[in-house]
Chain A
Amino acid sequence: MIYILKNRILKGVLSRHIDSGLSQEVEFSGQELKALIRKKFGRSLHIRQVDTGSCGGCQSEIISANNPIYDLQRFGINFVASPRHADALLVTGPVSKNMLLALKKTYAAMPEPKFIITCGECALDGGVFKESYYIQGPVNDILPVALHIPGCPPEPLSILKSLLSFLKQ
């Protein structure tokens, strides 16, 4: 603890070896998003994420979107632990047969009004797993999808921008 405090006092705010252009872009889009979320969702949009058989790339990028560089939380987007607290369901993966029931149950557990966002190529149309014997998807055939975030996996900034352009509509 002393080590952390000492460094904090000695070094002040740490400047990172990251792209400054990127952080400006994040800041700019984020503030716009924040204003929209404040207006449309009463300050915060709560998202529950479900993996229906993805490779893990999308999860990794969603986690990255919450790291201190992007930090979606400061714009009012919270990733919540329970579908009961969620406004939106963020689905990754092509929907394997084994995850079909879990996906439906998670959606059913969410309070109204609610909507679904899909993330990544395989959630859109099965992607490389399209022809498999064990794929039930795509998500759109099972539940109504409001927004798709393209990419394999989508970069954190494009997650942010997709949400922004969707909320502008």
Chain B
Amino acid sequence: MNAETLALVIVVVTALGFDFTNGFHDTGNAMATSIATGALKPKIAVALSAVLNLAGAFLSVAVALTVTNAVVHVQQSDGTPDPTLVSDGGSKLMMIVLAGLVGAIIWNLLTWLFGLPSSSSHALFGGLIGSTIASLGWDGVNWVGDGTKLDGVVGKVILPAVLSPIVAALVAAIGTWLVYRIVLGVAARFTSNGFRWGQVGTASLVSLAHGTGDAQKTMGVITLALIASGHWNHTDAIPFWVKLVCALAIALGTYLGGWRIIRTLGKGLVEIESPQGMSAEASSAAVILASSHLGFALSTTHVATGSILGTGLGKPGAEVRWGVAGRMAAGWLLTLPAAAVVGGVMWAVGHVCGNTGGPIVVFLILLALSGYIYLRSRRTAVGAHNVNDDWDGMPTTSPEPQLAAGGVA
């Protein structure tokens, strides 16, 4: 195996690794509320979400080859790589993409360790921005687009991140308030049963939409690497095996379930009842679908979190744990720069180690850091067995209640 092929294999494997973290990081967006209210058993919920993500990934035949164009200039507008980056067999582009992916994965794993729902798309964009700045300089980044449409870091990342949670929270708060007003006087036993159905239905829509949107990003990145290394030359189609492995990776990640994040979303932010769960997921589904219809790029995570927060605001007497919300917001602010720093450092490390050794060294660093974070997570394991335990006190078997620290406002 020569150096170019090895680099390609490493990029593909790392991209699938990112897709996998994307899956388990976002399980909670759709399923946390159904798990918290008991509408679905935890294992059933993640299995349903995994199947819908798988189906969603296969539904997307539209090619998302230009995914990086939103934030960096490494591709041309038709999706083919910038020719100056592939003149040496693609290794320049490979290094940028690989370092960006590693930045995204590390940030996804860290936020998962702390139980913070953060956007996987922002982590990916952040990683790519960092590795692009390191290699091509400040001008390699598409900061604001060209002014003809919503584009660039500002238009596709920052503005949506600020506004979409607010819109979702508003919609969910109004939905929750209406629902509780309307069913006033109906026996609680009677309503909770009905709303569980509504919850499962709306949560399923969110899962399906997630699979269609997010798996495409990894498909686009892998196909870009294949084009850069000369293994693929269509810009209007994706190899079937790429679609298959991406769909499987995101579904497997979803099934694994990011229990730490599910717990924060379902139990930490607001104590959720089934009418709130339905309002939250309906709001998420509506905001995600309306935005994608209007070409407004947003993160499922920000929308889902905003919606859940909104149900806490909309239900009379409900409590929102603002401490938890504050930690999430801090995590969101950090996502782009933090992933960018990791991406930039990884690019520098890979660059120093050369075209052959660079990808290998960067990949080994990724494995070492991931292994370390995984081992840390075992100290305070959160799984299907304790995901719904009371938020106060964090009664896991662990000696180090990490999530509870600062978790209560």
Q: Do A and B bind each other?
A: no
Which chain B residues have a beta carbon within 8 Å of chain A's beta carbons? none
